[in-house]
Amino acid sequence: MAPLIAKLLSHISPVAAISTSLLASGFYLVGLVIYRLYFHPLASFPGPKLAAATGWYEFYFQYWLDGQYIFETEKLVKRYGPVIRVNPEELFIHDPEFYNDLYVAESTRRTNHYDNFAQGIGFDGCHLLTVEHDLHRARRKPLEPYFSRMGISRLQPMLAEVALHLETRLREYTNTSEIVRLDHAFTAYTGDIIGRMCLDTDDPGDRFLSREDFSADWSWIMQMIIRSVPLFSGFPFIIRLLSPIPSEVLLWLYPRGQAFATFQEKARGNIRKALGSNSLNDKYVESLFHHVANSDMPASEKSEERLAKEAQLLLGGGTVTSARTISCAAYYILTRSDVAKRLREELKNPMTEWPTHVPTWAELERLPFLQAVIKEALRVDFGVMTRLPRISPDVPLQYKQYTIPAGVPVGMSSYFMHMDPDIFPNPSEFIPERWLGSINPLMNRNFVPFSRGSRTCLGSNLALAEISLVLAVLFRPNGPKLELFETDESDVRVAHDFGVPLPKLDTKGVRAYVR
């Protein structure tokens, strides 16, 4: 048989072979489009035919137009209704009443992650992107005590130390006429908190806050990673091609990535130390990986490689989103004198003895206006803005007249929930007062910056605690006197969705003088 095939192939010219391959590919693509449009399980769902036919439709808006598909989806909802087929395999629903039916607790039903949603970004194996429900629970459950309210209470001395470090660094700029990038300072603040959790080091030189310009290179590399998500998700093989390249070569090409590389190296060292430890004592109360090493997480899930991915995800997801919320809140506080005044008055007593006495997170939670400012900042900044697809692997989902087959990814978005004018009048405006007094209970239903269900944000308690403390420190009566410099609302208002929301791409950041 082999000689016969070889003889046949010898009579086929290269031109004919190429032509045949192209023709076969063309027939395949035509057949695939016909299947997707007319025979696919989602063929009957509303949406543009181009989105149903090819993923290039979404890729165009996400990559070529820089994270605009969420806004295109908004237009599609107005045209087609609350259910949209946003790509060949996935549905989007905009109906606040359905949110709690999609994002459910594990006791309600199993929920899988949609693998294609975040493929190619290099975090395979971390709990957040684990596809299968039971494996996700096995990876996440041992982490939950560390990020619980009780776990965060143990971290409060560390949070206070980092917040004081931030204040001290800002005061160094007092009356110097030097401009401070507050967004960089806040990214350094949240980055140092994650660093203390993952690196287990007391060396002040390891702090982002200690470095010149609040580690501007660190902020830059995080922005570049975020903006690269559409490319890597569209072409997941890129990460696989880059993985074998030595880190020295990558750093030669992108020297500003040194901070991220240093973090990775030290995180791996701490993971090795933690896995070799036999006990968890007070010295390691801050260390996430000493907690993991002493947890009931299956041994197969405690590999250095997988835990290093968890550290990288924490550093990325746990710094930028919270820093953006703090930047957003700070901007509006500094541009709204009535908000700043009311906040100072409320913080006067709780923060009188700072830093000798540090109010607990629970005490700060009892300050209604501070919490209203935080909730409103989270509302207009959305947390994670992009749709978060979930899969019901075992049972179909029912939405009104639509029966969604088991195994189909379905997503909803905090952007649509938070910008609903029926629930939040003037939704684009920053109005913390809307959260005070007797509020519409549907506001809390629609408030989903951390999502919900069995895959809700693991770090929500940490985020709320660190945001509460830093705003209390900076905007108390005797806090640093900050004055915005050439910063307007477009520097914080969301204009792009790369998974993490970003303002206009040519922003110069939230800049200020310290008076």
- Cα–Cα distance, 126 to 303 (Å, whole number): 11
From the CB of residue 145, how many other CB atoms can be counted at a distance below 10 Å?
A: 11
| pLDDT computed for residue 3 by the predictor | 67
Output the tens digit of pLDDT for each of the chain's 515 residues.
666 666 655 667 777 767 777 778 888 899 999 999 999 999 999 999 999 999 999 999 999 999 999 999 999 999 999 999 999 999 999 999 999 999 999 999 999 999 886 666 667 788 888 999 999 999 999 999 999 999 999 999 999 999 999 999 999 999 999 999 999 999 999 999 998 988 766 666 679 999 989 999 888 888 888 898 888 888 877 777 777 777 777 667 667 667 667 777 777 888 888 887 755 555 556 688 888 888 888 888 888 889 888 888 888 888 999 999 999 999 999 999 999 999 999 999 999 999 999 999 999 999 999 999 999 999 999 999 999 999 999 999 999 999 999 999 999 999 999 999 999 999 999 999 999 999 999 999 999 999 999 999 999 999 999 999 999 999 999 999 999 999 999 999 999 999 899 999 999 999 999 99
Residue position matching structure tokens 């945001």: 467
Task: Provide the pLDDT for residue 289.
Answer: 87
As to burial, measured by CB atoms within 10 angstroms (0-12 exposed, 13-18 middle, 19+ buried), residue 414 is buried
Q: How far apart are CA 314 and CA 310, in angstroms?
A: 6
Structural contact between residues 414 and 94, judged by C-beta atoms closer than 8 angstroms: no
> Is the pTM higher than 0.85?
yes
Is 113:134 a contact under the CB 8 Å cutoff?
no
Specify whether the CB–CB gap between 390 and 99 falls below 8 A.
no
Matching residue, tokens 């403390």? 469
H or E element that contains 159: helix 149-171
| Angle of CA points 346, 349, 351, to nearest 5° | 95
Output the CA angle 443-446-451, nearest 5 degrees. 135
Q: 320: Cβ–Cβ under 8 A, 6 or more apart, which residues? A: 187, 190, 222, 226, 500
Tokens of 148: 């619980």
CA distance 128 to 397: 23
Environment class of 5 (CB within 10 Å of its CB; exposed 0-12, middle 13-18, buried 19+): exposed
Pinpoint the alpha helices (H) of 243-367: 247-253, 258-275, 288-293, 304-335, 337-347, 361-365
User: In the chain, what are the helix, strand and coil shares in percent, each to the nearest 5?
Assistant: 60, 5, 35
**Is 457 marked within a binding site?**
yes
Torsion sign, CA atoms 92, 95, 98, 104: positive
Which H or E element spans position 511?
A: strand 511-514
Distance, in Å, from the CA atom of 143 to the CA atom of 416, rounded to the nearest integer, reads: 30
Runs of H (alpha helix) within 14-59: 14-34, 49-53, 56-59
Residue with tokens 């919900």: 452
Domain residue ranges of the chain, discontinuous segments joined by +: 43-118+388-422
> Residue type at 424?
F
- Whether the CB-CB separation of 467 and 152 falls below 8 Å is answered with no
Q: What is the pLDDT of residue 179?
A: 97
Terminal-to-terminal C-alpha distance of the chain: 86
pLDDT at 312: 83
In contact, 512 and 182? CB cutoff 8 Å: yes
SS3 489: helix
Query: Which residue's structure tokens are 């605690």?
Result: 465
Q: Which of 441, 444, 334 is nearest to 378 (CA)?
A: 444
